[in-house]
Structure 1
Amino acid sequence: MKFAKLFVLLAAAVVATPAMAAGDAEAGEAKAAPCAACHGQGGNATIAMYPKLAGQGEAYLVKQLQDFKSGARDNAIMAGQVAGMSEQDMQDIAAYYAAQEAEAGQANPDLVELGERLYRGGDAGNNLPACSGCHGPAGQGIDAAQYPHLAGQNAQYVEDQLKAFRAAGRNDLGDNLIKRTNDASGEEPGMMQTIAAEMSDTQIKAVASFISGLSK
């Protein structure tokens, strides 16, 4: 039943995604200059806890910036960064990062087998669909549905986000944990909360490591 629900959420997200105005990548380069402190030059963050933005889809990036501004995604640092941004600023910054080339990371050899199995085939016995179904076999994402590009993403960041989705998807966890509820499905619980709620720490770490080693 959970697989059927996830399919419905996927289809609904693709159909419901609104058209997005084009941003100006050249203007976005100047506007993104302060972002380099955390996200690295050209969006290739070298600090493990921060996401790489290079090569990320425009629609996904705009949604995240909007969610940080509205509070739909809770992050005090990013809330301060986006407070003065206009919609055009967000479009331009997103266009700039989308035009950059993401650098691949390196997967932990001890985790590759499990990580690849989960990413490419899921785990039907534990109601886990394959990550590749939404994020693509090479981790390229589906920007029309606001499903993010994952290839080469910092493993620590992916692990932290999966745990935040898991905390939101489970009802037995305390309020002191970071929770993330702003996936593209628009449902409650959303697709990522539903998936991550079924994942163990080992599974999360393995798939995050495998994702880091992917190259588009």
Structure 2
Amino acid sequence: MSQERVFSLGNPWFRASVGITVAVGVFSAFVGFIWLPSVEPDAQFQGIWNAICSAAGVPRTWLKSEPSAAAPTFVASTVVVTPQMLDDATAESIGRGATLALKCTMCHGARGLSEANSPNLAGQYAASVYKELQDFKTGARTNAIMSPMIANLSDRDMRDLAAYYAYLPRPPAYHPAGGSTAPSIVAHGAPMRNIPPCAACHGGMDTKTGSPWLDGESAVYLKAQLQAFASGDRHNDISEQMRNVARRMTPAEIDAAAEYYASQPQ
């Protein structure tokens, strides 16, 4: 019986098995880490080193040809809204805002209640008014009438206007207990489509800082804004939350929400 050790280079079977294993390993590494990644059309796989790094999942921050993130094609809102924003309005600020608001009356009404399908501003949250004014000034939100009206306003002017409109009495609630039932999209949203209830942010169930009060707004205005969010024509919502909601809403849901918030008491 042979006394030659199995695991010995002198054993031809051992040498053959080791050689085959190494060859298979090298061939597999070549196919998996070099050949397959290199035939991908993406720029990140071009070159042997990049192909190896990509296949291994190694960060390639040193790759100078790495494409940079696409710059947004529009101006985004940069307003930081906080719960305490504009809570300390003074009588002087409100009075000054009332004077500035005289040139706003044609669209928004003498007391902040519009008859021209423009938004009602009486009793609106000061933070909401201020944010929209800032967005009009920076171009994050555009309108043929509002943009030139805002162009020469200072930050103090916008804060005073927001304080004045927030000071005005809000129209009475249009949906008292026992009144018309809120449509499902307002009261419950559509969880399966990741749509929260409108009332969770805009009053009724809860309010979210920066979200405007909607009761009493024009149905025409509300529909136009929801459609603008859905199409992306309006894009000054922070974190894109309204665009995500509106694009998932059906036309019937947009109509129902707008009509509900605009409805008058019987």
Q: TM-score range by the shorter chain?
A: 0.7 to 0.9
Given the alignment of the two structures, is residue 180 of structure 1 paired with residue 249 of structure 2, yes or no? Answer: no
For 2:210, give the aligned amino acid: Q
TM-score (norm: length of structure 2): 0.61
Cα deviations across residues 145-200 of structure 1 (Å, max 9, x unaligned)?
211111111111111100000001xxxxxxxxxx11111x3x2xx00000000112
What is the percent sequence identity of the aligned residues? 35
1:142-181 correspondence runs (5 A): 142=208, 145-168=209-232, 179-181=233-235
Q: Which residue of 2 aligns with 1:135?
A: 202
Change (3 A) 1:20 1:129: closer
Higher relative contact order (CA 8 A, sep 6+): 1
Answer yes or no: is 1:121 the counterpart of 2:188. Answer: yes
- The residue correspondences of 1:1-216 to structure 2 (distance < 5 A) are 17-18=81-82, 20-21=85-86, 22-23=88-89, 24-48=93-117, 50-103=118-171, 116-137=183-204, 141-142=207-208, 145-168=209-232, 179-183=233-237, 185=238, 187=239, 190-213=240-263
Using the TM superposition, give the Cα deviation of residue 103 of structure 1 relative to its aligned residue in structure 2, in angstroms. 2.7
Q: CA deviation at 1:105?
A: 8.8
Structure 1 position 119, deviation (Å): 0.6
Deviations 1:89-111 (A, max 9, x none): 1011111111112335979xxxx
- Which residue of 2 is the match for residue 4 of structure 1? none
CA contact (8 A) 1:141 1:150 kept: no
Letter in 1 for 2:230: R
Q: Distance in 2 between matches of 1:200 and 1:132?
A: 17
Q: Which amino acid aligns with 1:158?
A: L
Query: Unaligned stretches of 5+ in structure 1?
Result: 1-15, 169-178
**Of Structure 1 and Structure 2, which has the larger fraction of its residues in helix?**
1
Cα distance per residue 1:89-141 (max 9 Å; x no partner): 1011111111112335979xxxx65x522111112233321011111217x84
Against the structure 1 CA distance between its residues 214 and 193, is the aligned structure 2 distance closer, same or farther, given a 3 Å change threshold? Answer: farther
Where structure 2 has 5 or more consecutive residues not aligned to the other structure, the ranges are 1-79
Q: Looking at CA atoms only, which structure, 1 or 2, has the larger radius of gyration?
A: 2
| 2:122–2:168 CA contact under 8 A, matched in 1 | yes
SS at match of 1:146: coil
Q: Tell me, yes or no, if the aligned pair for 2:137 and 2:147 is still in contact at 8 Å.
A: yes
Measured in 1, the distance between the counterparts of 2:235 and 2:149 equals: 20
Instruction: Report if aligned partners of 1:36, 1:43 keep a CA contact under 8 Å in 2.
Output: yes
SS at match of 1:42: coil
CA distance, structure 2, for counterparts of residue 106 and residue 191 of structure 1 = 26
Whole-angstrom CA distance in 2 between matches of 1:56 and 1:214: 18
CA RMSD of aligned residues (A): 2.3
Q: Distance in 1 between matches of 2:254 and 2:263?
A: 15
Q: Quick one: distance in 2 between partners of 1:213 and 1:147?
A: 20
